Amino acid sequence: MKKLILILVPLLLLGGGGFLGVAYMGIVKVPGITTVKKRLVSSKEERPASYLFSSTLKVSKRLPDPTVKPKPPVIDPKPGQKKIADLWSQMEPKKVAEIAANLTDTDVAPILVQMKTDLVAKIIAAMEPDRAATLCTAIKNLTKKA
């Protein structure tokens, strides 16, 4: 008897679930379960004239032209220069001079302009004379623009 129950219960569940699925798909019509399918119009003659001039038509968005490349974003370097200036202000001038030796004058000069004059003097004094001279010229040219 137990074996019969173990076999019949899953079969009834699967059969009942299968029946509900078939009824939902509309193969077997069961009121309350079977969904109502809308009738599709097959030819233009059967469509009303308002269909052609419907105000509910959606206009699709125009796709961007693939030949036009987007402009890269403009990045303002001032906030980054200010952060580096604050960082360098807390370091020893000799270490800053060593770091600046690996950077270009156009990178270092705007940072030094944002620092206190006495710290800049110590950093420039720790540099090689040729590099210090070119940096002084770059700083002078930056302060003329401002």
The residues spanned by each domain of the chain are 1-34, 78-145
Q: Return the amino acid letter for 46.
A: E
pLDDT digits (tens, 9 = 90+) for 46-100: 555 555 555 555 656 777 777 878 788 888 888 899 999 999 999 999 999 999 9
- Structure tokens, 38: 């809308």
SS (H, E, C) the chain: CHHHHHHHHHHHHHHHHHHHHHHHHCCCCCCCCCCCCCCCCCCHHHCCHHHHCCCCCCCCCCCCCCCCCCCCCCCCCHHHHHHHHHHHHCCCHHHHHHHHCCCCHHHHHHHHHCCCHHHHHHHHHCCCHHHHHHHHHHHHHHHHHC
Q: Return the amino acid letter for 23.
A: A
The proportion of the chain whose per-residue pLDDT surpasses 70, expressed as a percent, equals 62
**Predicted pLDDT of residue 35:** 67
* The model's pTM: 0.49
**Predicted pLDDT of residue 5:** 73
Please give the mean pLDDT across all residues of the chain: 78
